[in-house]
Amino acid sequence: MEGYEVITSDGDKVGQVVATQGDNLIVEHGALFKSRNALPNAFAEVDESERTVRTTLTKDLIHESPKVSGDDLDEGEVAAYYGLPGGNTTEEGWGVLDEHDPTESAALLAERQGMRPADQERAEVRENMGAGETYGSPGRQIIPPDPHTTGHSGDEK
């Protein structure tokens, strides 16, 4: 595939394939100051008859990817950049969750910090409420009478 032109789905020319390393094509671009970036095979469609590689990725996305210098290619960094498995993964391949992962639920975060989940707290409040209390059953709050407006002598005229 060396020498194949890399073209985006928009028709932009990204550069030329100069090598392959692992599951990546090494794409070189630039006239005076040559630069090399990795393009994962997962995003490459090879057309042998036209000697081109088509990709759905944008030109900017490829040009801003981790640079390749010589034979030094960090495949984990490239995979992480493009969101592919093999980047920051565990043995099972599910990925390592960051301690401050924004996709983590509030209940899970509270549990990790030693707090009781909100639904458990609500259940305990309901269990502790007796039938004779002034607040009534859940959902039907009974407001106690205002001691300032009832039962005072001299208020009635």
Do 64 and 102 belong to one domain?
no
Q: Is residue 151 part of a domain?
A: no
- What gap in Å lies between CA 153 and CA 30, rounded to an integer? 95
From residue 65, give the alpha-carbon distance in Å to each of 79, 90, 152.
10, 23, 80
Q: pLDDT > 70: what percent of the chain? A: 69
Do 76 and 10 belong to one domain?
yes
Q: What is the pLDDT of residues 103-152, one digit of tens each?
A: 666 767 777 778 877 778 788 777 776 555 555 556 666 667 777 776 55
Q: Is residue 39 part of a domain?
A: yes
Q: Is residue 154 part of a domain?
A: no
Q: What is the pLDDT of residues 75-104, one digit of tens each?
A: 888 888 888 876 554 444 455 555 555 666
- Find the length of the chain: 157
Q: Is residue 153 part of a domain?
A: no
Give the domain extent around 102.
Answer: 97-142
- What gap in Å lies between CA 93 and CA 73, rounded to an integer? 21
From residue 43, give the alpha-carbon distance in Å to each of 52, 61, 92, 94.
13, 12, 24, 21
First to last CA, the chain: 103
The residue from 82, 116, 151 where one domain ends is 82
pTM summary value: 0.54
| Cβ burial 102-129 (10 Å sphere, 16+ → b, else e) | eeeeeeeeeeeeeeeeeeeeeeeeeeee
Do 123 and 61 belong to one domain?
no
